[in-house]
Amino acid sequence: MEGLGPSIEYMRMSLTYSYSLFRREGRTRTLADYSELKTQADEQWKELVAGDRPWIRVGTGLCGQASGALDVLDAISAEAERLEVDITLDEVGCLGMCYAEPLVDVQLPGGSRLFFKNVSPDDVPSIIESYAGKGELPSLEQFGYLGDTQIDGVTDLTTLPMMQLQERIALRNSGNIAPDDIYQYIANGGYAGINKALFEMKPEDVIKDMIDSGLRGRGGAGFPTGVKWSFMVRSPGPPKYILCNCEEGDPGAYNDKGILEGDPHTLLEGMLLAGYATGATKGFVFIRHGHDGPIDRTQRAIEQAYETGLLGENVLGSDFSFDIEISLTGDSYVAGEETALMDSIEGKRAMPRFKPPFPAAFGVWGKPSTVNNVKSLSYAPQIISRGGAWFKSIGAEKCTGTAIICLNGNVKYPGMYEVPMGMEMGRVIDEIGGGVPDGKEFKMLQLGGPLGHILGPDILPISLDFDAMKGVGAMLGSGGVIISDEDTCAVDLARVLVAFCQYESCGKCFPCRLGMTNLLEFVERIANYNGRPGDLEMIDRVGSTMAAGSLCFHGQLGVNPIKSAIQNFPEDFRVHLEEGRCPTGSCDRPVLVPRNTRPYAEDFQPGMVPLTVG
């Protein structure tokens, strides 16, 4: 049994989640109608905002935790107790301005929210004693305020470009409400969409609204969401399943996890709407194992939804019943492919299936299934509440709504921003992200995940639009954008991306399994000044074979990073091949190159440290 420990632990956790979510003994379930829930939620919200205690919110999303937010949270609790200051303390998700984390805001009764950025435990005594305790502005720098009541000498956050240019729909509650309090969600319009659908609309009306909205899937493919839902209506059931894909393994993309950390109920409501529209009776939220924040907050949201009658039998007293549970996957990028996801839910190794049959006809356990991304489902509550025409009025003509962009790398204000579709990429980087810092020049960006493209300045005038991106040989993907300045070599960036793709190949089909290994060998040789005549031509030939013969997008698109780097930055490759040097020096740094096959020793140089798995 030696070596089976991690697998057994993974199975134990998966069974624990499934068991805890469906065990009903001893659970109190409130069968209230929506108006009763809304009245109770409004009263609680009024007490939070206008009661007799300061309300303090601390951003404890992944970015906040990485910056020390949990230490700040503990310090606030301890300091309030020491000074005997009566406060309400809530953890919230990321407001989107990750560069400002840890982000703390204090709302005095009836007042606006006063934000402090990059807070450390040493700053806490001043915040609690001066502002929460006495209502006096502390000596600390104030980041800004949100609310109708102006705070003298403090910037209104809505006037900052990174807030002013946003149109927050899927992220409307993130950073504003406590994700573990269903009543805060309801007080802000939550579950009004499913209430409207159940008692004022037929299932076909919901699908029509989704089609009329023009919403296209935000997982990367851009297929119309309403049309996708309509496919499963014609499939026989029950059972039918709604599958939410939050595998999100793309380097530089964290908006799915951001939604689950900040507002998991908006996802659950979206799944309820999808279930009602398609005749499904059960949903799975598919999350990568180890992402504890999204997992724990989603599990708590599911439990609360059951307790208040928003999940389970006869939702809100209607004839519609729907169950949701979490399904965990291991660290596998390919598990995000929709058919591999279904295999993982069934307890198998996550590997793509042949298509057809497609999931809407033959999905989980051979039953009709619809797979949607977190963002796609999270738009549904607002679309149904406010109408498809409202959503269609936002964004571009053929690409409506918003895009959630994660800005990373060499940018002044990295973060998670929701902007209207159709906005130019250059505006997002310069006006929202603050441009490239330290006086450096923008050189390139990587877009569309590790299977996407490495693009130069020509991408900056292009609109955030699936079709516009496709027209210039790019893809928007799930929204991750990695920006590089003049000190980065395209060969180096391509090597990192190809190494990731090679390591993450599931190995089921040999064009991908062998092709990705070959591509990594080529780019490693070039990066280490050992390129051979014909390497660039071989990269193109191998990539073409992978595209023609691979089962899923991982192999079909695996050549994109290096091929686009060669096309857009030929000089970087020429200097490596002909002059034996790196034009920026970034390729000379030692790198860790993960592999899932044994490397050829002759291809490695002393500075490289291979990691062999298997």
Task: State the sign of the Cα–Cα–Cα–Cα dihedral 171, 374, 466, 484.
Answer: positive
Amino acid at 185: Y
d(CA 151, CA 194): 38
Query: Which tokens is 117 given?
Result: 């950025």
565 DSSP β-pair partners: none
d(CA 529, CA 492): 12
How many helices (H) and strands (E) are present in the chain, helices listed first? Answer: 25, 16
Nearest to 106 by CA among 117, 98, 121: 117
Q: What's the confidence (pLDDT) of residue 28?
A: 53
Q: What's the confidence (pLDDT) of residue 220?
A: 76
Q: What is the length of the chain? A: 614
d(CA 384, CA 600): 56
114 DSSP β-pair partners: 106, 145
Nearest to 158 by CA among 169, 149, 147, 172: 147
What domains are defined for the chain? 43-159 (3.40.30.10), 172-391 (3.40.50.11540), 402-485 (3.10.20.600), 490-612 (1.20.1440.230)
Check: CB of residue 415 under 8 Å from CB of residue 429: no
Count of CB atoms situated within 10 Å of the CB of 167:
16
Q: What's the confidence (pLDDT) of residue 596?
A: 58
Place of tokens 């130069």: 456
d(CA 395, CA 383): 14
Q: What's the confidence (pLDDT) of residue 115?
A: 97
278 SS3 class: helix
Nearest to 213 by CA among 400, 423, 378, 373: 400
Label the pairing between strands 402-409 and 480-485. Answer: parallel
Query: Which tokens is 175 given?
Result: 């950073």
In eight-state DSSP terms, residue 281 is: -
Place of tokens 């030692």: 590
In eight-state DSSP terms, residue 362 is: S
In eight-state DSSP terms, residue 587 is: G
Burial (CB count within 10 angstroms: exposed 0-12, middle 13-18, buried 19+), residue 189:
middle
In eight-state DSSP terms, residue 216 is: B
Check: CB of residue 256 under 8 Å from CB of residue 246: yes
Instruction: Tell me the residue ranges of DSSP E strands in 263-422.
Output: 282-288, 323-329, 369-373, 402-409, 415-420
Nearest to 562 by CA among 516, 506, 503, 511: 516
Q: What's the confidence (pLDDT) of residue 11?
A: 36
Nearest to 428 by CA among 94, 166, 96, 160: 166
355-363 long-range Cβ contacts below 8 angstroms, 24+ apart: 358/231, 359/243, 360/228, 360/231, 360/232, 360/235, 361/235, 363/241, 363/243
What's the first-to-final CA gap in the chain, in angstroms?
A: 18
Query: Which tokens is 339 given?
Result: 């058919």
Q: What's the confidence (pLDDT) of residue 588?
A: 87
Q: Average pLDDT for consecutive 10-residue bins of the chain (614 residues)?
A: 36 38 45 88 96 96 95 97 95 96 96 96 95 91 93 94 94 96 97 97 97 91 91 89 92 93 98 97 92 94 96 95 92 86 91 90 94 96 97 92 96 96 95 95 93 94 90 85 96 94 90 94 94 92 94 92 95 96 89 52 38 30
Distances (CA, A) of 118 to 103, 138, 140, 164: 6, 15, 11, 21
